[in-house]
Structures are given as structure tokens and as C-alpha cells.
Amino acid sequence: MLFANRQQAAARLAHALAAYKGKNPLILAIPRGAVPMGQRLAQELGGELDVVLVRKLRAPFNPEFALGSIDESGWAYIADYAESAGGTAAYLEQEKQAQRATIRARRAQYTPLRPPIDPAGRIVIVVDDGLATGATMISALHALRARKPAHLVCAVPVAPADTVEKIRAYADEVVCLATPELFRAVGQFYSDFPQVDDAEVIEILRGSGATERAGPITASTCPLTTGSPASRPIRRR
């Protein structure tokens, strides 16, 4: 195990991302597991917390395996192995519709009084508790790139090296604390890896003020510096 729990992983990520402290970064967590981590990052970096809603497109008979992913706008990433894993065109269309319905329901639950915070012109850090195939992160980064952030960062505690390489084309920077050779599932790298439910996500967002904010935040006026922390983990653009 590399991490005791998500809080420890988030603290280590905050140290790796210290160059952005005080620059009002927008921390976007992928629900549900990454939301407690996003809260910790926002607190330590002096940023704002929100969620980016994307969903895995599940393989038939193996819902834990991703054939791709879909974002809030309906754009979908389909992995090159999807067809060989049972992802026919008809199946994928049905799965897209199911996952978009889940995204709409979560948006109504999580931030009922406002639209997503506008990432335009801001330092945006997208966090997840780990990557396996990287499918959901690809959709998240693609969706955010279209909204013109000043600098787009993917931040995760752990991922396979080949997944990190695949992600690099979608972000300006990738911060990954560890790339173990033997990788079966994200949970194997945590001693304590409980499920995070919708009630916890809603409570965290309410505590951050994210559910009550009346409208999108304007772009930060803080300039992006190119300095780096003294000690950096694996970083790829």
C-alpha cells in the first residue's frame, strides 16, 4: 500500500502542487471518491472546489471495466478495445444514454442552485483518487479544455505508467505521485478505501459554499508563474 487513505494522498498531492498555492486554483473533483480529496486540496492551496461530472461507459457483464467515458455535454471517449470487449454500437449508445441520465441526476443533487463554476482563464486542477484506464479523466480534461482554462492540470496519487502517457495529450501538466508496475485496481494502493456516497459529496460541497453560489466565478486575476516546487514527483504535460 502507498497511502493510508484518501486524506493522506490528498495531503501529498497538495505538497506536489504547492506552486499553485495562493493563486486561487479551481479544484475540480471527479465524483464520488475524489471529492474529499478535492476538499483537502482546495483548503491547502487556497482554491475553490467544484465537481466535474463524467461517467464511465461500462463493459457488458463487467461494470468495473471501462470501455470509454462520457461528459456532461454528451461528448464520449471510446477506447480502441471497446468493440473487442463487447462494446457494440447499439450497446454503447444505450450505455451513453444511461450514464448521461446519471450525470443529470447528480448535477441536480450536487449543485442545484447554480451552474458549474466557469474554468475560463483559470488554473484548473482536476483530481481523482487514482486512474486505471484513464477513461473518465480523458472525458473530464476534454470537457474542460473546450472551456479555455489558463492552465489545465491532472492530479492523481497513482496510475499505471501507460495510462499517464495516454493522459498527457489532454492536459498541460500531469502530476502523478506513483506509477507502480503491478496495477490491478486503484483500491489496492490504499489501506483504507471506503465508498463515498452522494450524501457525503453534497455535505462537502455545501460546506465549501459550492451549492449556494449564485453564479459562475469570474476568471482569476492571479498570474500563472512558471516556478516549480523544490521537490517534484513524476510530471508530464
pLDDT digits (tens, 9 = 90+) for 173-190: 999 999 999 999 999 999
Q: Is the dihedral of CA 204, 136, 139, 168 positive or negative?
A: positive
Per-residue confidence (pLDDT) for residue 205, from 0 to 100: 94
| Cβ partners under 8 Å of residue 75, min gap 6 | 139, 142, 143
What's the CA gap between 72 and 111, in Å, rounded? 14
3-state secondary structure of 201: helix
Per-residue confidence (pLDDT) for residue 237, from 0 to 100: 37
Cβ(70)–Cβ(55) below 8 Å: yes
What's the CA gap between 126 and 141, in Å, rounded? 8
- Place 226 in a pLDDT band, splitting at 50, 70 and 90: very low
Q: Is the dihedral of CA 53, 117, 213, 36 positive or negative?
A: positive
Per-residue confidence (pLDDT) for residue 72, from 0 to 100: 94
Per-residue confidence (pLDDT) for residue 210, from 0 to 100: 58
Distance of CA 92 to the CA centre of its chain: 22
Helix extents (H) in the chain: 6-16, 35-45, 89-110, 135-145, 161-167, 198-208
Cβ(202)–Cβ(35) below 8 Å: no
Separation in Å, CA 175 to CA 18, 153, 159, 227, 228: 12, 7, 10, 15, 12
C-alpha cell at 62: 463487467
Average pLDDT, the chain: 89
Query: In this predicted model, what pLDDT tens digit does every residue of 47-101 receive, in sequence order?
Result: 999 999 999 999 999 998 999 999 999 999 999 999 999 999 999 999 999 999 9
237 or 93, which is more confident: 93
**Please, what is the angle between helix 198-208 and helix 35-45, to 10°?**
20
pTM over 0.75: yes
